[in-house]
Amino acid sequence: MTDYERIRSEISLSDKRMKHTEGVIKAAEALAGRHFPFLSSEDVRVAALMHDFTKEYTLEQHREICLRWGIPMTPEDIEKPKLLHARTAAAIAEHTYGLNPEICSAVRWHTTGRPAMQPMEIVIYFADYIEENRVYPACVKLREFYEKQLGKRKDPSDALLRAVAKSFDITLQDLIENKELIDQTTVEARNYYRRLIAEGGLLT
């Protein structure tokens, strides 16, 4: 039995969350195939499957996982616990399933992103944002922007870079408009990718 088959048999998500997860798997496979064909297709599928593994956990369940594996919790985590699922899912990926660091890191950073993301991290972060089942205006806007960039840029990597940078702009605007807390890592990621574009760099 593969890791994907084992985790799929044990994962417990609502129908709505599972539909989203299946959309992320599909989007991640497409993104990896287009931009990072050297990535293991099995690892991409496993990372996508794991990304929201604890999304529907209660705050107390997140607390228990954080205590078990020494994950620090900030006051912001308590106020906005939905960000915790990336860390707790990554912990389960590492400690329960023994998945490789590339997968665990992609699960860890899929919500906030971070500067200098590695290929697997980019794939899961971006697939989570643009998968076809997401109808939130910010997701639709980014999906359309990415498709337009693919049509106008000679280098697909340039199109993806600009779409990733745009994703942070959209996220920050959305958080500000809704008067929500902003994770500092998202700000740092936004600045990193905007500088990379300004300097003529590409994703590697």
Pair 143, 130: CB distance under 8 Å: yes
Average pLDDT, the chain: 95
Please give the CATH architecture assigned to the domain spanning 3-198: Orthogonal Bundle (1.10)
Contacts of residue 14, defined as CB under 8 A and 6 or more positions apart, other chains included, come to 56
Phi, psi of 146 (to 5 degrees): -60, -45
Amino acid at 110: H
pLDDT band for position 201 (cuts 50, 70, 90) = confident
What are 110-167's pLDDT values in tens digits?
Answer: 999 999 999 999 999 999 999 999 999 999 999 999 999 999 888 999 999 999 999 9
What are 55-77's pLDDT values in tens digits?
Answer: 999 999 999 999 999 999 887 77
Domains of the chain, residue spans = 3-198
Quote the pTM value.
Answer: 0.96
Six token digits for residue 159: 């199109």
Six token digits for residue 138: 């910010």
Pair 93, 99: CB distance under 8 Å: yes
